[in-house]
Amino acid sequence: MACWTVLHGALSLLAFALAACPNNGFAPIGPEVGGGHVVSRGRHVPCMQEDGDEAGVCFLQASAEALKAPLLQGSIGARDEEAAGNIARLGSAARRLESVSQASRFVANHALDASMSLGEVLIFMGVIPIGAAFVYLINYPDADVQYYNLYIVADAASVFIALVIVHVCERYTDWAVQPLLGQQWLCVGHALLALLWYGSMQCRRIFVDASEVKDPEARRQRGYSARFWSGFLGNAASFAAINVWGDLQEAPWFDRSPAHPFLVCVLAFVAMDLLFITTKRVCPRYQVETTTGKRWERYTEEAEEVILASCTSFLFARALLRSTSGCHAGQVVTVCIFAGTSASFATFVPFLVCMQRRQLAQTRRELGQQEEGKGHESPWAATMSVKLAVTASAWTFVEGGNQFTNLVSMQVSDMFLVKLVFAVAVSLLAFLGIIATDRILDSLSRGSWMQHVLINAVIAAALVIGFCWEEVFETVLASIEDGVPDESEGVLVCLLSLVECVVVGPALRFHVLPKLAEIKRNLKMEEELDIGEEILYDLALLREVFDAWVKKCESGKMPVETLFHPGAHALKFLVGTWIDINEDFFSGAEIEITQTGWGPRNARANWHKTAVYQMRCTGIDTCELVEKRRDGTERVFTARRGMGDTIEIKIPKYPTLGWTLGRANVQVKNAMRRPMPWDASVGLGSRSQLFGAVKH
């Protein structure tokens, strides 16, 4: 820390010294003097004849020449040798002073040529602490915060790459179409480009091999590739569609009335929705049954929702801003109201969606009408409403940021500095906001709607950050284009964009996405461990309660009929169950036993003949219930999962008990193919057998 303080202080003094130097240039060694200006590196800068060192050198040289001229002409006698010596010493001092002055001018000239302005020096000095802050925030000690920050980085990098590539393609499309067909056909060229990006998103086989592999690591790598390409192609198709409908919104017919731009929003939503529905029916990617194919299908469906929401919200925000373009104050007020409404909508709608989904699942459980694949799905309209609100908030922030940076750039001539500072500030605020939000959620009871709100905030922040850094890159390209001939301008821009994508793309694919998936797996493991510990603790308490009931019945303090109540029988079934945890078991299972039948009265005398049951999960779609009798025989009841996350097992009537147990629902949450370390949880037996038979 002390070394860093010393280094930072030295750099500060150096920056202050460089900033204090006059910024009017220095003459190099051996300048061409003419007309009071010095030609240096192809530009004219004023000659520093008024400077103190230069004036001293000129005075000494003039004095030496004035004294030397009479001596050479013989006007001073040879006997005055002392005066001649003084003249020689004066000339040598003048030459030494001139050499020192030239050396100082040389150092100062090259120092200024190699240095930058005061703002750029400050940027250079701030790179190290800002970079260290970014590294610390991305690798924050809290796993939840680290996951969300990496999520922002991954989405922002995908948005950045898509924007850079789309801008390059749009530039070359305009260059090729406009001279041949005219300005009116640019919209057609942009439409073909958008269809090309969307068609590429459907061609899974070009980017990802979806064949089934047994190696888990190879399967994960294909999953990373599927997410990378689907995200990039989805964002590229989204921005290309925005260009198409934006051109249509600026057409003369749609620009005649304030209501016509809003009509374009409706047309865009309906047209793209019909395109997605048609593609879903005819595209072969929806018939892929492999793990990678299903992931690609899920990612592309999410990308289509993002395309629809992003394009529609952008057109709506643009139409709203155009309707108040005549009044600057009205535009600012409209932006503020729209941003506040969008943020409130994005926060409140997820709560309603989750409450509606919970109420729907509860109703279906009560009626016994749980249908396949509909237990935990959100309504499409509610999901799209959330995405529209989130993207509208992001677009509003982006538009407000552009207006703010343009306003500041009028006062500060350096546009790059303004854009860079704004992008860094937005990124830091997003990361710090995630930390603050996570602290608030930790202090409250984490609910599904809170997690939904946080995910939506992360998506909006990633969109804003990606746009801000792309604006910085575009500013750099614009400054480079000013000093490049027109014939090589396009080639240089293309090469720089390609280099930037080659740097950011592999970093996203091979570093960010694997690390994000690893953190997600660790979070699931921790959550499953917590769930397993809670289940073991609850089972231990239930066993103690049932043992106490049995003792009370044996001592006569409790009637025996209590043990034949449906709830008591379900309790006995749960307590008398032991779970075989093996490599194929999906840990983190939440077991719920429901009793729907009543047993006959004559079963009271045979209740001690209850068998011991074993619940074993052999796969994600199959669950087995094994009845182990005391005579050594077994009966296996197998059920396949046909209702989402719920496996239903119907148990027939047992001859020895005379009891019909209606159903046993096994709800598997956060399923992962790995063993659970049950030995270290509560200490209720070995890993392969948690509970034995019920004590009698």
pLDDT tens digits, one per residue of 16-26: 343 334 333 33
The C-alpha angle 474, 477, 478, rounded to 5 degrees, equals 85
> Rounded to whole angstroms, how far apart are CA atoms 538 and 550?
18
Contact (CB, 8 A) for 397 and 467: no
* pLDDT surpasses 80 at 363: no
pLDDT band at 75 (very low <50, low <70, confident <90, very high): very low
Contact partners, residue 222, CB within 8 Å, separation at least 6: 208, 209, 210, 213, 292, 295
9-45 tens-digit pLDDT? 443 433 334 333 433 333 333 333 333 333 333 333 3
> Rounded to whole angstroms, how far apart are CA atoms 25 and 41?
11
- For residues 84 and 368, the model is more confident at 84
- For residues 80 and 308, the model is more confident at 308
pLDDT band at 359 (very low <50, low <70, confident <90, very high): low
The C-alpha angle 527, 625, 523, rounded to 5 degrees, equals 10
Share of the chain above pLDDT 70, in %: 39
Which residue in the block uniquely carries the two structure tokens 């006059």? Answer: 22
48-62 tens-digit pLDDT? 334 444 545 454 455
Beta-bridge mates of residue 33: 38
Tell the burial category of 639 from Cβ atoms under 10 Å away from its Cβ (0-12, 13-18, 19+): middle
DSSP letter at 166 equals H
pLDDT for res 577 = 38
Which of 313, 316, 190 has its CA nearest to residue 263?
Answer: 316
415-445 tens-digit pLDDT? 777 888 888 888 888 888 888 877 777 666 5
pLDDT for res 367 = 47
> Rounded to whole angstroms, how far apart are CA atoms 261 and 316?
8
pLDDT for res 151 = 86
DSSP letter at 610 equals P
Model pTM? 0.56
Ordered by start, the domain boundaries in the chain are 24-114, 126-142+327-365+373-482, 531-680
pLDDT for res 685 = 30
Q: Extract the tokens encoding 325.
A: 């373009």
pLDDT for res 425 = 85
287-299 tens-digit pLDDT? 556 666 677 777 7
pLDDT for res 200 = 79
- Buried-exposed string 442-465: b where 16+ CB fall within 10 A, e elsewhere: eeeeeeebbebbbebbbbbbbbbb
